[in-house]
Chain A
Amino acid sequence: MDSENKEFTDLLEAIRFVYGYDFTDYSEASVKRRINSFMANRKITTVEMLRDMILKDEKLFEVFIQEISVTVTEMFRDPTFYKSLQNQVLKRLATYPFIKIWIAGCATGEEVYSIAILLEEAGLLDRSIIYATDINQKSLQVAKEGMYPLANMKQYTTNYQKAGGKKSFSEYYIAKYDSVLFDKSLKKNIVFAAHNLAIDKSFNEFQLILCRNVLIYFNQKLQNNVINLFYESLCPFGFLGLGNKESLLYAEKKKNFEDVDRNEKIFMKTE
């Protein structure tokens, strides 16, 4: 291991030891990129210097953690995924008297509102509860508010229509200045909470878990642990939806899931 990598590993170990946040099993290239950009923005020249600074200054660490764990998403990202959920999964969910859904790594909540809209249009929202979790408190705050830039609505409307949306998308929000606020009724059954997939345990049993474009940030070991966590958190015949480029390829539990839609990465727990 060369010295730059050692400094980097030392930093992540120190953060784990002092603050309890574990990034040691994250995909290194992505974490490095974010740490480098954090350093460049503050003119911090070496990783060692950064380590000393954040170990001494808890406030700076808070800023650091928010910045390196932030993820971006959009409403109805990959419309065909939502279409498949609607066609293959919702009718099965409808057979339960009460539907529990976990959106793990919900970032700023765009996906949470997309799912709420999907459930609303299927007449299922009233008897559903959605647990939306993320490691990043700032992102969760944005998610709770449900306020997004007006400029994104054009793309989201296109996505919504491609996903098979039944109404006019603008019925779900009110626009003011350059922002839109999503309808309060959408979030009446959503619980937003902090959850760290790298260290926290299962907290309920669900019929559907969505975790899209989160596993790509983890190494194979952590991906496997997280799939195990999802396995434990799903009811028999519960559904799991992953991101477009993610798979169960490296998971020990691979054989305990079957494909519901291979292209859209929707799986069902079978045993």
Chain B
Amino acid sequence: MNILSDKAFKAIVIGTSAGGLSALSTLLEKLPPSYHLPIIIVQHRAKDQKSLLEEVLQPKCKIKIKQADEKEKIEKGVVYIAPPDYHLLIENDLTFSLSCDELVSYSRPSIDVLFESAALAYRETLIGIILTGASNDGFTNHKKIRRTDHSPVTC
């Protein structure tokens, strides 16, 4: 069975480097608006780069894409993107929190910070995907998700 349509999972987190736009776009274009999981994305990007990832991706995709808001409840069938210059974390009640903590692996938002908090909140029902990336960010906590006993996907 394809892992991305398995009903045992509750959410997908994706980490990608600044150059991951086309990979991300290829993946998201295929999803129907009624997709059964929420998808939460951290992409590394230049701090003052104001062109928003969600605005670039939305016209190509059928599924709803938006920036994750402070304390927003996570819903299925929505793709959430971490806002620039903030870490994105997931609370146990499946809402978002933002933080301005120091950079992690030279990045904010950091893939590690998202993956670590998502692994705590979703436990074994989380799928973690690292799309592209040259830095160590995402590596530490990708292992954490693997430890909770399922297969991460790296493209």
Contacts and interface: CB of A to CB of B under 8 A. Distances in A.
Interface of A: 5, 27-30, 32-34, 71-73, 213, 216-217, 220, 243, 245-247, 250
Contacts of A5: 92
B98 A216 contact: yes
Given A245-B70, A250-B71, A29 B90 contact: yes
A135 to B, nearest CB: 15
Contacts of A247: 70
A213 B100 contact: yes
A30 B89 contact: yes
Interface string B15-51: 0000000000000000000000000000000000000
In the A-B complex, list the 3 residue pairs whose CB atoms are closest, starting with the nearest: A29-B89, A27-B97, A29-B117
B113 interface: yes
Contact of B70 (A28, A34, A73, A246): A246
B101 interface: yes
22 contacts: A27-B91, A27-B99, A29-B89, A29-B91, A29-B92, A29-B97, A29-B121, A30-B89, A30-B97, A32-B117, A32-B120, A33-B89, A33-B117, A71-B100, A72-B101, A72-B102, A216-B97, A216-B99, A217-B97, A245-B83, A245-B86, A245-B98
Given A29-B117, A33-B99, A247-B70, 14 more contacts: A5-B92, A27-B89, A27-B91, A27-B97, A28-B97, A29-B90, A30-B99, A32-B120, A73-B100, A216-B70, A217-B97, A217-B99, A245-B70, A245-B98
A245 B91 CA distance: 17
A231 B79 CA distance: 36
Contacts of B92: 5, 28-29
A73 B99 CA distance: 11
Nearest to B97: A27
A33 B97 CA distance: 12
B68 to A, nearest CB: 9
B124 interface: no
By size class, the interface of chain B is: 20 to 34
Given A27-B97, A216-B70, A33 B83 contact: no
A30 B110 CA distance: 13
Contacts of B116: 33
A131 B92 CA distance: 36
Nearest to B69: A245
Nearest to B86: A245
Contacts of B90: 29
Interface in B102-155: 102, 113, 116-117, 120-121
Nearest to B89: A29
Contacts of B91: 27-29
A29 B116 CA distance: 9
Contacts of A30: 89, 97, 99, 101
A27 B93 CA distance: 11
Nearest to A216: B98
A215 to B, nearest CB: 8
Most buried by A among B89, B91, B100, B117: B100
Contacts of A243: 100
Nearest to A27: B97
Contacts of A33: 89, 99, 101, 113, 116-117
Interface string B61-97: 0000000011100000000000100100111100001
B138 to A, nearest CB: 16
B125 to A, nearest CB: 14
Contacts of B97: 27-30, 216-217
